[in-house]
């Protein structure tokens, strides 16, 4: 119990020294929200940064992030780190795990120079108790806003109680939601955690609620939660699949007394003239005409259309042709 009181007292002394400026130790407190980029200043830097070392103090050990102005590549966060020309440390896309104490130290020929520049990073993080699919009008949601401190060094309890640190919820107009009976808001000074519970309304879609960290009424950082309702996914009816088929070849009619005869408009006229000529010429002329008929048949196979003609019609035409020929010869 005595150790806990001593730790709280030590944290309070550190924070008081920072805020009043009465200590000769170079200390800075930086507040940011998760996902942001942050810059930690090195106030004791020498020119060129070749003497600069940045150290991150965890609960169990000190980890070198920058040594001699060169970034270490064997740390988990090295891809998010960079060194400015003034030896400041840049951290991209800050996470709540990045909170804690960062020390900028100078070494010349292996010897430490001057006092350390100490930077305390505090990260504000907002989360929801409900998944995105559960966020809808009529449902209850609880939002948590927590300021992540390095509690081993600076106590949230002492900061809130003695230094006027606040974690509050406001609407888009900046009005404190504590005054609205629609919201139930609670605060835990042990964890620097403010919780907001409410039942969502139709008009809450796309509405923003902001969590703010203030110290002595001065805004230090903030984080926003935006209400997003899922829109129903439109169900698309699959388009019918059209299968194109090649035109089928004409099939022979089932009738047994019909015959397919190739006929074209040009060949019909020619056949009419040929029939007349056949009636007036002798048998040898008909024999000479046979190659033409063969040629016509070949041409018909290229540009003619198959038209079914019944066998009875063919026989009738044949008899008419024979009769015409006999009459001609008789005359």
Residues in the chain: 331
CB burial of residue 103 (10 Å; 0-12, 13-18, 19+): middle
**Percent of the chain having pLDDT more than 90?**
46
Number of continuous H segments (helices) and E segments (strands) in the chain: 5, 17
Q: Is 29 helix (H, G, I), strand (E, B) or coil?
A: strand
Q: Model confidence over 59-76: pLDDT tens digits?
A: 778 999 999 999 998 888
Nearest residue to 10 via CA among 155, 184, 218: 155
pLDDT at 319: 56
CA–CA distance, 139 with 162 (Å, rounded to integer): 38
pLDDT at 24: 52
Alpha helices in 165-310 (DSSP H): 265-280, 283-303
Nearest residue to 122 via CA among 21, 26, 19, 36: 36
Higher confidence at residue 201 or residue 280? 201
CA–CA distance, 33 with 223 (Å, rounded to integer): 6
Angle in degrees, 0-180, between the axes of helices 265-280 and 311-330, rounded to the nearest 10: 40
Higher confidence at residue 119 or residue 295? 119
Copy the structure tokens of residue 200.
Answer: 């969502």
Higher confidence at residue 20 or residue 211? 211
Q: Model confidence over 190-201: pLDDT tens digits?
A: 888 999 999 999
What DSSP line would sit under 39-53, residue for residue?
Answer: EE--TTPPTTSTTEE
Confidence of residue 155 (pLDDT cuts 50, 70, 90): low
Q: Residues 107-143, buried b or exposed e (16+ Cβ, 10 A)?
A: eeeeeeeeebbbbbbbbbbbeeeeeeeebeeeeebeb
Domains identified in the chain and CATH numbers: 2-226 (2.60.40.10)
């Amino acid at each position: 119990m005595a150790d806990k009181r001593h730790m709280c007292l030590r944290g309070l002394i550190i924070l008081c020294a920072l805020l009043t400026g009465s200590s000769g130790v170079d200390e800075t407190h930086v507040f940011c929200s998760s996902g942001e980029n942050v810059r930690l200043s090195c106030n004791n830097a020498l020119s060129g940064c070749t003497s600069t070392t940045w150290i991150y103090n965890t609960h169990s050990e000190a980890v070198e992030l920058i040594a001699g102005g060169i970034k270490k590549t064997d740390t988990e966060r090295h891809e998010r780190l960079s060194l400015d020309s003034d030896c400041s440390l840049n951290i991209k896309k800050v996470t709540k795990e990045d909170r804690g104490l960062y020390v900028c130290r100078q070494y010349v020929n292996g010897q430490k120079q001057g006092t350390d520049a100490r930077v305390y990073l505090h990260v504000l993080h907002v989360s929801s108790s409900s998944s995105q699919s559960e966020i809808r009008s009529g449902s209850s949601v609880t939002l948590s806003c927590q300021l992540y401190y390095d509690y081993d060094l600076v106590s949230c309890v002492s900061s809130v109680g003695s230094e006027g640190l606040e974690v509050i919820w406001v609407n888009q107009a900046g009005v404190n939601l504590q005054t609205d009976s629609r919201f139930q808001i609670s605060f835990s000074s042990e964890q620097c955690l403010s919780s907001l519970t409410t039942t969502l309304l139709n008009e809450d879609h796309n509405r923003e609620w902001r969590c703010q960290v203030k110290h002595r009424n001065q805004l230090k950082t903030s984080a926003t939660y935006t209400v997003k309702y899922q829109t129903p996914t439109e169900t698309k009816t699959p388009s019918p699949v059209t299968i194109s088929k090649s035109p089928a070849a004409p099939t022979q009619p089932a009738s047994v007394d019909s015959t397919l005869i190739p006929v074209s408009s040009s060949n019909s006229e020619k056949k009419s003239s040929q029939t007349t000529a056949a009636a007036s010429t002798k048998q040898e002329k008909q024999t000479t005409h046979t190659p033409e008929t063969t040629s016509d048949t070949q041409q018909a196979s290229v540009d003619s259309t198959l038209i079914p003609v019944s066998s009875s019609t063919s026989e009738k035409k044949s008899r008419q042709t024979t009769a015409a020929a006999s009459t001609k010869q008789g005359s």
